[in-house]
Amino acid sequence: MRLFPRLAAGLITLTALFLPLLQACQVQRRSERLVVATSARVGSVDPVRASTFGATQLLSAIGDPLYRLGPDGQLEPALATALPRVEGDGLTVRIPLRQGVRFHDGTPFDAAAMVFSLERFLAIGSLSYLLDDRIASVRASGSHELELRLKRPTTVLPELLSTINLTPVSPTAYRQHADKALPDRFVGTGPYRLTTFSDQQQRLEPFADYWGTRPRNSGIDLISLGNSTALFGAMGSGEVDVLLSTGLHEDHQQALQQRAERGTLRQGEGPALEIGYITLHTDQPPFNNPTLRRALAHSLDRDRISERVSQGLRPALRNLVPPVVSATGQNLWPAYAPARARQLFREAGYCDGRRLELPLTFRSNIPSDRLMVLTWQAQLARDLDDCIVLQPNGMESTTVYRQLGEGAFAAVMLDWRGAVPDPEAYLFPLISCSEAQGGRCLKGESALSGSFWTEPGLQQTLVRSEGLAGDERRRLLLEIERRTARAAPYLPLWLVAPRAWAQAGLATPRFDGNGRLLLQELERQP
Amino acid sequence: MSRRRALFSYLAARLVLAPVMLWLIASLVFLLLRVAPGDPVDAVLGTRAPEAARAALRSQLGLDRSLLEQYGQFLANLLRGNLGESLNSQEPVAGIIGQSLPASLELGITALLLAALVGLAVGFSGIARPEGKVDLAGRLYGVGTYALPPFWAAMLVQLVFAVWLGWLPVGGRFPPTLVPPSGSGFYLLDSLRQGLAGGDWQALAGSLRHLTLPACTLALLLSGIFTNALRLNLRRALASDYVEAARSRGIGERQVVLRHALPNALLPVLTITGITVASLIGGALLIEVTFSWPGIAFRLQEAIAQRDYPLVQGIVVVVAALVVVVTVTVDLLVALLDPRVRF
């Protein structure tokens, strides 16, 4: 009967031998290709369906927009050759298109292809609402000239046309999919061709006939790993060459940043276009009282929270429009001032024996939300224990989004990233209102955002800003934001910038003005 | 009624009940998804889309029709074998399942074989000296691995073997720099075939390396079940009258264990294996998530989060059908092997 212990010992020995053997069988990395990892999975690569970070990041490498935002945030023509030319009535716009461009299937790019792609996007695009209320029709006014007929004058058209979802697709390849998405293939004009696609892994090869600057590497393998530990570990073991910060926990980001400071990694940072904020339900007690909202705004120690939650990786924010977009440099929301907060709480009838019980909802599947709420809870207990007590309420994000517009939450923590880097893309989705009753928004973005806040005349001012340009428009939008800050229906909290880390032998990663990693610039350095 | 006839009646009853069971499960999933808060339109358009855009998409997806109409359509499609299209990617649900199920099966079958091998060996090892050191170690192993929290074990294994030692990949199913082999969707088999055909073994080595950690972790977690089951049943068998009778006839201990006790002790293990296989078809969610293994459980979790109704329904129906097939097969197998079983 001694056979069996021997058998077990043999098995254990075999296992111990098996792992190093497999390690020895390590697949040889082809040095000329680069592996880029993120947590984002790509459900569909069709521009009409792509809305997640992973999908737009992929599209930006395999497609070209009409205009693009460079790393410095400057708008530059890509498939267009010049900025849109507005005709006399302000409603007709002509865009000259680049000649000599070819799709990945070898067919030529021209105005007809652009019309096909835009009409397809307007008809079946998930994000078609971005253009629906602005563009009435599209037509080819020449072989390489596009004519857009607008519904109303708009000054942000070039920015809107820089949306990667408007990248043209080959009419030949998409003929059977004019009214239906093609989720797993892409035939566009970008610097890379998509040769293999799954939601977890995409293989990109440089496009030999690309009209612009050729990629500096011999191909990219984009992979998605399911959790932050896996991403961090893969970077540490050298399994991946470049790691994107999406889905990475703050402590892992911090560790990577420290490695970059020591020179063992290279870190690149993109524009901070995502904001974290708290929405207050202004149509219901207690936050229908503006004094209480201002008190809450003064009670928020953003710097401390940012330090505790993200070790400073998420800078404190006191505006709805990120500084990189507004370029004003002014902080519009009230600063942290516990004494002033106490005074305002008193004015609202709290403190001195009566505490405000604030139910703050957060998305339980977002680790930073939970940390923020717990930190703020502790900070309020320290500063204003006799005036307010915070009651955290975690909820799955899908449920939060569904119930937001129904006014289910007195206060809820959310984030937002504008579709284009323009103040309008932050103000309209949070405060525009199509039907109001005094200071209550009954229908519109403000209601959908869960704040239900508006002011008489605010919507008209927002609409007026659309027809303006330059400094006049910037001033008006700043004034709108200032009015919002005074009423404090939202409490901006922090900014989130995309980051990427590359192994030491690679060039420092760079981002474009839309916060997407420039994959074609990644290269090994001698 | 003869035993053969009884077996046939049992099989017929199970086969008749299977569609009813599937209908019940499908209906329950259909209803629960619609009752749960959340809207698939949010997943496609985001939460800030204007109401007009939302209404248009709702109409396009057929979500504006009455619940009864949607249910009728769902059942009609199901009867035709049409599982519909994913709301998010617009890919056929059958195609998505066709990609994910082989991944889960590959992981599950490998883990099960490893678990059975290790678990049975450990369970067997202490039999020579009950309550001895080896037996005690086996008992501890059985209880310890069974009690391990899967997510913790998976992360620890990942941390040690992938991150610290760097021996094996952190996650994924195939090396990103290689093109995945085409064929059945079972990468091990496909890459083996590719190696045999073209002499390129990189794909096979890559598949094996990626499979090792998740499969070994899952096997570790499952092996305790086999260890405990075999230990207990073998001890019970060794204490039974027929074993005593064998011993009294002068049969050697090895023969007594291998010929008389072991076959009887393995029968309950077969039932446990069946139940384990059935649960593995649904996927080992935590293992798949931790190791970014693109299996059916990982996909189901995503689909639930996105309220992708057709995909959730499709996955649940297919998994339920497979579970029914596996449990019936195991029941029949046990009945065939064990003459004591009555129907």
Q: Which residue type, as a one-letter code, is found at position A14?
A: L
Phi/psi for A411 (5° steps) reads -150, 135
Measured between CA atoms, the residue of chain B closest to residue A405 is B47
Cross-chain CB nearest to A230 (options B51, B53, B292): B292
CB atoms within 10 A of CB B117: 15
Dump pLDDT digits (tens) for B235-275: 888 888 888 888 888 888 888 888 888 888 888 888 888 87
A residues 110-129 near B, CB within 8 Å?
Answer: 126-129
pLDDT score, position B217: 93
Asked whether this complex has an ipTM greater than 0.85, the answer is: no
Residue B92 has what DSSP assignment? B
| A199–B53 C-beta distance less than 8 A | no
How many whole angstroms separate alpha carbon A458 and alpha carbon A428?
11
Q: Which helix (H) or strand (E) holds B197?
A: helix B187-198
How many whole angstroms separate alpha carbon A418 and alpha carbon A324?
12
Dump pLDDT digits (tens) for B7-63: 788 778 878 888 888 899 889 988 988 887 777 787 777 666 666 777 877 887 788
Share of chain B above pLDDT 70, in %: 95
- Average pLDDT across each block of 10 residues of chain A; the chain has 526 residues. List them in order: 57 60 55 87 89 91 94 90 88 95 97 96 84 89 94 84 94 91 93 92 95 94 88 89 92 93 95 96 94 96 94 93 85 95 95 92 91 96 95 90 88 91 90 90 90 93 85 90 95 96 95 94 89
Task: Find the distance separating the first CA and the last CA of chain A, reported in whole Å.
Answer: 62
Which strands, in side-by-side order, build the sheet including A411-417?
A388-395, A356-363, A411-417, A274-280, A490-496
Number of A–B residue contacts, CB under 8 Å? 200
How many whole angstroms separate alpha carbon B59 and alpha carbon B53?
10
Q: How far is CA A390 from CA A39, A345, A355, A385, A410, in A?
A: 32, 14, 10, 10, 12
pLDDT score, position B90: 79
Phi/psi for B41 (5° steps) reads -60, -35
Helix, strand, coil content of chain A in percent (nearest 5): 35, 20, 45
CB atoms within 10 A of CB B155: 20
How many whole angstroms separate alpha carbon A388 and alpha carbon B107?
52
Does the CB of A311 have a partner CB in chain B at under 8 Å? no
pLDDT score, position B286: 85
| A233–B43 C-beta distance less than 8 A | no
Burial of B284 (0-12, 13-18, 19+ CB in 10 A): buried
A residues 143-182 near B, CB within 8 Å?
Answer: 180-181
Cross-chain CB nearest to A4 (options B128, B177, B212): B128
Region B301-324 average pLDDT:
87
Measured between CA atoms, the residue of chain A closest to residue B44 is A126
How many whole angstroms separate alpha carbon B70 and alpha carbon B64?
9
| A229–B158 C-beta distance less than 8 A | yes
Q: How far is CA B135 from CA A186, B24, B121, in A?
A: 60, 45, 12
Does the CB of B53 have a partner CB in chain A at under 8 Å? yes
pLDDT score, position B280: 76
Cis preceding-peptide flag for A271 (omega within 30 of 0): no
How many whole angstroms separate alpha carbon A487 and alpha carbon A122?
36
Does the CB of A11 have a partner CB in chain B at under 8 Å? yes
pLDDT score, position B212: 94
Measured between CA atoms, the residue of chain A closest to residue B299 is A199
* CA atoms within 13 Å, Cβ hemisphere of B13: 9
pLDDT score, position A140: 96
Closest CA to B328 of B84, B74, B90, B15: B15
Is beta strand A265-269 parallel, antiparallel or unpaired with respect to A75-77? unpaired
CB atoms within 10 A of CB A371: 17
How many whole angstroms separate alpha carbon A7 and alpha carbon A279?
64
Phi/psi for A67 (5° steps) reads -130, 155
Q: How far is CA B70 from CA A62, B21, B67, B192, B310, in A?
A: 38, 20, 5, 44, 11
Distance from CA of A351 to the nearest CA of B (A): 37
Helix, strand, coil content of chain B in percent (nearest 5): 75, 0, 25
pLDDT score, position A9: 64
CB atoms within 10 A of CB B71: 16
| B90–A27 C-beta distance less than 8 A | no
| B307–A226 C-beta distance less than 8 A | no
| A5–B128 C-beta distance less than 8 A | yes
Identify all chain A residues contacting B195, using CB atoms and an 8 Å cutoff.
none
pLDDT score, position A237: 85
Helix (H, G, I), strand (E, B) or coil at A513: coil
| B147, B251 contact by CB (below 8 A) | no
Query: What is the DSSP track for B120-143?
Result: HHHHHHGGGSTTSHHHHHHHHHHH
Measured between CA atoms, the residue of chain B closest to residue A225 is B292
How many whole angstroms separate alpha carbon A392 and alpha carbon A494?
19
B93-125 vs B133-147: helix crossing angle, rounded to 10: 160
Identify all chain B residues contacting A41, using CB atoms and an 8 Å cutoff.
302
Query: What is the DSSP track for A61-125?
Result: HH---SEEE-TTS-EEESSBSSPPEE-TTSSEEEEEB-SS-B-TTSPBP-HHHHHHHHHHHHHH-
Identify all chain B residues contacting A198, using CB atoms and an 8 Å cutoff.
99, 180, 294
Dump pLDDT digits (tens) for B117-172: 998 888 888 776 777 888 888 888 888 888 888 888 998 999 899 888 888 998 88
Cross-chain CB nearest to A233 (options B57, B158, B176): B158
Tokens standing for residue B239: 């204490």
Identify all chain B residues contacting A196, using CB atoms and an 8 Å cutoff.
179-180
pLDDT score, position B36: 78
How many whole angstroms separate alpha carbon A511 and alpha carbon A518?
5
Distance from CA of A265 to the nearest CA of B (A): 16
Give the best residue of B161, B163, B170 to mutate against chain A (max A CB count within 10 A).
Answer: B170
Range with the lowest mean pLDDT among A270-279, A516-525, B206-215, B219-228? B219-228
Q: CA geometry: angle at A235 spanning A229 and A238, to 5°?
A: 135
